[in-house]
Amino acid sequence: MERNLSQSGLSQAPRPLQNRIDPFGEFHAVADRGGLMGNRGGRLHRDDQTLGGSRWKNKHWLICVCEFKDRHRDVWGRYYTELFFLDEPTALAAGHRPCFECRRPAAKAFIAAFPGGPSGVEAMDEALHRERVDKKRKRLWRSRLGDLPDGAMIARDCAPHVVRADALLPWSFAGYGTPAPLDPDAVADVLTPPSTVAALEAGYRPLWPESLKPAR
């Protein structure tokens, strides 16, 4: 997840890669480690491990576990660009969904809760892609806070907050802040795609930081 730089033969402190994703779906280089991994269908980085111009390669935006079957990852190597999230509400807000290989039970639960009974993964990913991006920008939508389930993310004063237990918790790469009372009649910009919010409302249960170990 990190690379070492050297200058004049002297070793410098590792510099984080630009692979941490916030609830807006934006890429950041921060030291805080995520509890879940993901990808957007292919390689987005250059040979020097800097981020290229593309932000996705296809419409299959996945949420994966950081360790699976003892597989070794060459992070930001020859193949695909690994991305990291604080937790699953963060990844869902960014427009991702559970992987059918490394998180099969979660993926099956997600598609079962997905509105409209999609015929398969392709139909679900098409629907999510329409809802998460407007050309190259994050697509937002409006809702009453009282209509949002636990795990939905909103933007308040341009900063992400998550709904949990009838409260709003401010988000950061390091975790969530102090809960604030939620006004159910207030209307907010929602970051989580509408179909994902519907899946949460229908019973899909996301993974929160307390149930995850940071990536090594």
Tell me, what's the pLDDT at 22? Answer: 98
Average pLDDT of every residue of the chain = 89
How many residues comprise the chain?
216
Q: Look at residue 73 and tell me whether its pLDDT is greater than 90.
A: no
Tell me, what's the pLDDT at 155? Answer: 98
Tell me, what's the pLDDT at 214? Answer: 64
Q: Look at residue 7 and tell me whether its pLDDT is greater than 70.
A: no
- At 106-122, the pLDDT tens digits run 999 999 999 988 778 99
| pTM, two decimal places | 0.89
Radius of gyration of the chain (CA): 17
Q: Look at residue 174 and tell me whether its pLDDT is greater than 50.
A: yes
Q: Which of 167, 183, 192, 207 is nearest to 95 (CA)?
A: 192
Residues forming beta bridges with residue 154, ordered by sequence position: 161, 190
Tell me, what's the pLDDT at 12? Answer: 52
Say how far apart CA 158 and CA 149 lie, in whole Å: 20
207 secondary structure, DSSP code? P
Tell me, what's the pLDDT at 8? Answer: 40
Say how far apart CA 6 and CA 13 lie, in whole Å: 9
Tell me, what's the pLDDT at 152? Answer: 99
Tell me, what's the pLDDT at 127? Answer: 96
Q: Look at residue 212 and tell me whether its pLDDT is greater than 90.
A: no
Q: Which of 111, 98, 201, 93 is nearest to 150 (CA)?
A: 201
